Amino acid sequence: MSGIDKHILAASQDLEAQLAAVLAAPLYDDSQRMRVSHLASSVALEHGTACRSLLAVGLVPSGLVVHRAQYEATVRAVWTLYAASELHIGKLGATLAIEAEQGAKNLPLVAEMMAALATKAPAPAYQALANFKENSWRALNSFAHAGIHPLHRQESGYPVQLAEQTLRNCNGLAVVAGMQAAVLTGRQHLVTQVGALQKTHRQCLPLQ
């Protein structure tokens, strides 16, 4: 087991449940842009659940790899709504086939999406994603590619503080994805509800 504080784990589970309820709400409209952004939000939240589950049983390196995927899915969710071109949306929303898979290979990577979001996304969403990238992206890439970080930790061990910090960051990204899901419904009360979770679940979110 990871040794993560049981209260942080319990609060994390409750946060997941409340965000899942927001994700289940109907979209504002049935446009392809809305649908693709919603699907990316769903993937991001599912990665968040997987990351927490791995951390809870002590599989920290695997949790960190999924955490990286969670971040990319969260960026994609925000980017598809605010910055993606119609061509990009068409590629991501296409029926899965060899031709569509080849076409989707040329989609922007994280750095390109973040550059676009800098001027097009709501400031709070962009800033949260930018702060995460600045503080965590290099280490997460190392874990994803079996670099120095996981090799060193595999030998020296994973402190509880690292697992707890990762879980908090995971929950922070989940709130961003949940806020995106709320925005896609067009229902202000859901946006307000997700915003309130940052106060009621402060114990399991990133430390300021």
Look at 93-107, 160-174, 189-203 and tell me which has the smallest mean pLDDT: 93-107
User: What span, in angstroms and rounded, lies between the C-alpha atoms of 66 and 112?
Assistant: 21
Rounded to the nearest angstrom, the gap between the alpha carbon of residue 75 and the centroid of all alpha carbons in its chain is 7
pLDDT in tens, 147-166: 999 999 999 999 999 999 99
Q: How many Å apart are CA 170 and CA 190, to the nearest integer?
A: 21
Q: What integer is the mean pLDDT of 25-51?
A: 97
- What is the per-residue pLDDT across 80-127, written as a single tens digit (0 to 9) for each? 999 999 999 999 987 655 555 555 567 999 999 999 999 999 999 999
C-beta separation of 167 from 201 below 8 A: no
Smallest Cα–Cα separation from 48: which of 81, 24, 23, 12? 12
pLDDT beyond 70 at 78: yes
- Residue 164 structure tokens: 């707890």
pLDDT at 202 over 60: yes
Query: What six digits make up the tokens of 66?
Result: 């999924």
Residue 106 is predicted with a pLDDT of 77
Q: Band of the pLDDT at 24, cuts 50, 70, 90?
A: very high
- pLDDT, one tens digit per residue, over 49-77 is 999 999 999 999 999 999 999 999 999 99
pLDDT tier at 9, thresholds 50, 70, 90: very high
User: Considering only CA atoms, which of 94, 69, 92, 77 is closest in space to residue 40?
Assistant: 77
In this predicted structure, what is the pLDDT of residue 86? Answer: 95
Is there a contact between 41 and 48 (Cβ–Cβ < 8 Å)?
A: no
Give the pLDDT score at 102. Answer: 59
CA distances from 19 to 24, 40, 55, 85, 204 (A): 9, 14, 19, 28, 14
What are 7's two structure tokens?
Answer: 């209260």
Residue 1 has pLDDT above 60, yes or no: no
- Residue reference for tokens 């061509």: 87
Q: Which of 97-106, 185-194, 199-208 has the lowest mean pLDDT?
A: 97-106
| Cα–Cα distance, 130 to 182 (Å, whole number) | 21
Going by pLDDT thresholds of 50, 70 and 90, the confidence category of residue 194 is very high
d(CA 50, CA 198): 21
